[in-house]
Copies of this chain bind each other. A is one copy, B any other.
Amino acid sequence: MSATSEAVAGPGREELFSIGAAAAMSGVSERALRYYQELGLITPCARTPGGMRRYSEDDLARVARIRELQTLLGLNLDEIAVVLRNDDRLAEIKAVYHDEHTGAEERANLAGECLVLLEQLHTTVQGKRAALDTFLADLDARIARVRAALTPK
């Protein structure tokens, strides 16, 4: 009756990828994926009985996150590890927060912790953005001057 060999209930039909596919999709090398794992940045959500890595969509998103933090913020992998740990903590908080038997007071505490973590990251990014804006403004000014020189009248 089922097109797949799986018979588990629910609409969550999660497709898993080999390391080769994951590397191709995320745009990093297989070696990089294994290296990230060595550093504890990602762990493939599963392994085949034979021991081969299987990556989920969430895993791929995490890899994308790593690349983003690398290229956009210029963080090294150790710093990225910290950010990812915060991400994980945030997800954990989210789960507990929405749990039935979580008191109102505890919810406030959890949300407060979230704010700390998020605003911490926000601050560093904000700083980077400000510096970049200054840089860009200077560049714009120079361009404007040259433009003015080109069309004086």
Contacts and interface: CB of A to CB of B under 8 A. Distances in A.
Interface of A: 68, 71-72, 74, 97, 107-108, 111-112, 114-115, 118-119, 121-122, 125-126, 128-129, 131-133, 135-136, 139-140, 142-143, 146-147, 149-150
Contacts of A133: 129
B74 A71 contact: yes
B132 A72 contact: yes
Contact of A111 (B121, B140, B150): B150
Nearest to A147: B115
Contact of A126 (B71, B74, B111, B136): B136
Given A111-B149, A118-B139, 4 more contacts: A68-B135, A72-B131, A118-B146, A129-B136
